[in-house]
Structure 1
Amino acid sequence: MTTKSTRTLPAFDPRQVPVVGVDSHLTAVPPADLAPDALRQRFRLPPVWSPELRAEHKFSEREPSHASVLIPIVLRDQPMVLLTQRTAHLSSHSGQIAFPGGKADATDVDAVATALREAQEEVGLPPSAVEVLGSLPHYTTGSAFIVTPVVALVEPSIQLAPSPDEVAHVFEVPLGFLMNPANHRRHRVEWEGASREWYSMPYREQGMEWFIWGATAGMLRNFYQFLRA
């Protein structure tokens, strides 16, 4: 995604922004509800619900454009969510943790097609290894992308081929960790006279911390609300 903007957030380290709350009082999604058949059933017969987060505080003057991301759930012994760390040189969201995805192309027939195409281009995930379950409501980023999150199951035998121009790392996080609000931290910062708030879900593995925050964490939070509705 390329962003042209005359207003940008000041440079800051999101890890240093104070945590104003942790939602450990909320109930985690039970493991049984994260099983493949349970996820299929949830999208087949979705509940009545409303997303908690719909739009971030806008910090870009660019015209809004549509985009899609794939939320790939890899069917290992415990379901895992595949995520990427974007390369540092990208003009938009460089270095951040993200789902595979990007801006809609004129040739894409719909949001699902965008998500599948982008996932194949970014990490080499073939559409034939993907079972699309459905989509979550639009999430509008501060950089003016109207994002459709597409949730899918992915075969565990996949052999990925990340694009070195876009992806610095590919890794997996247990879905159960992400669907447990005890791991959802709320941050707040003041900018241009307004409070900007976001979630983070830092995941530590073998001495490495993957700092999941911003739009990626926001879409995961909506996924949590969808599964708990």
Structure 2
Amino acid sequence: MAVRPASSIISLTNPLTSSTLSHIRHTLNAAYSSAEHSPEYTYDPAETHAAVLLPLCNVNNQPGILLEVRGKLRTHSGEVSFPGGRVDKTDASSLEAALRETHEEVGIHPDQVEILGRFGPPQLSLGGMRVWPYVGFIHPQPQRRRVTEVNTDDHTPLPSLPMSSLALSQREVAFAFHLPLSAVVSPPRLHAYQFRGTEPYWAIDVSDIIASAETSDKDPLKRDEVGGGREGRLEAWGLTGWYLNCFFRTIGVYR
């Protein structure tokens, strides 16, 4: 298992643009379109389902991913996670569930999300739910269309998302932070884990990123709200870490 940032289809330091979103959309489609009809991607209505959003965004002109630290909940309390949750009967699809949950948890309206694709395969959570992951870019303002065909030659940086614009669910989210893409190739923060005891992946230590974000946040994270990770680290690990690795392998950051 290795890191190879030079092979990534996008820059890990320059702001995301319409061109880079187009490359990500094309890469996800090429990697997973043929898998849509395989058994592991079949949506079984007899199962309980959940959906998460991997939310790409620019913050202060840095490309990265918006992540949460979960509140004091019955499961995975205090852990790093994506926005998302259980698919309800009122949801038209797992994608709609991911968008609804993102709105409820961090205040991002569905029309702010430009969907780039789905990846996977969907895994069972420890709670027995089949989790469907989607990738989207978060615009600071609602867009007329969430999915657009963009100019692949447009290298203008897309607007940054003000972290102060988020409206966190007091019950579900203890903290929200921006994980810069450049941080996911930093060896000191990468720790080798095995997903479900078999598949190797990198857990990403975000302790310092959160500590830095807290210095300017009006509602700092309470230390007793933190859980997960080893040796006192706050990490993106477990299913969240696994899906981050799946995404980074797809776009060529990890191999």
TM-score (norm 2): 0.65
Percent identity between matched residues is: 28
Are residues 176 and 31 of structure 1, via their aligned partners in 2, closer, same or farther at CA, if it must alter by over 3 Å?
Answer: farther
Structure number with the higher helix fraction is 2
Is 1:44 matched up with 2:26? yes
Is 1:104 matched up with 2:104? no
Q: Which amino acid aligns with 1:164?
A: Q
Is 1:151 matched up with 2:161? no
- The alpha carbon displacement at 1:111 in A equals 1.7
Counterpart residue number, 2:173: 167
Provide the rounded CA distance (Å) in 2 between the counterparts of 1:68 and 1:188: 22
Is 1:92 matched up with 2:75? yes
Alignment of 1:23-38 (within 5 A): 23=1, 25-28=2-5, 30=8, 32-33=10-11, 35-36=16-17, 37-38=19-20
Q: Which amino acid aligns with 1:186?
A: A
Counterpart residue number, 1:130: 113
CA root-mean-square deviation: 3.1
Contact 2:9 2:23 in 1 (8 A): no
Q: Which amino acid aligns with 1:27?
A: R
From 240, 247, 253, give the equivalent of 1:216: 240
Deviations 1:57-115 (A, max 9, x none): xxxxxx95211111111123121211111112x11111111111000011111121111
- The alpha carbon displacement at 1:128 in A equals 1.9
- The alpha carbon displacement at 1:43 in A equals 1.6
Q: Which amino acid aligns with 1:201?
A: I
Alignment length (residue pairs): 191
Greater Cα shift, 213-222 or 76-85: 76-85
- The alpha carbon displacement at 1:141 in A equals 2.0
Q: Which amino acid aligns with 1:66?
A: H
Is 1:201 matched up with 2:204? yes
Provide the rounded CA distance (Å) in 1 between the counterparts of 2:24 and 2:191: 26
From 43, 49, 55, give the equivalent of 1:72: 55
SS of equivalent residue, structure 1 residue 163: coil
SS of equivalent residue, structure 2 residue 137: strand
Provide the rounded CA distance (Å) in 1 between the counterparts of 2:129 and 2:236: 19
SS of equivalent residue, structure 2 residue 236: coil
Provide the rounded CA distance (Å) in 1 between the counterparts of 2:205 and 2:190: 8
- 5+ residue gaps in structure 2? 41-45, 140-160, 213-232
Greater Cα shift, 195-204 or 145-154: 195-204
- 5+ residue gaps in structure 1? 1-22, 56-62
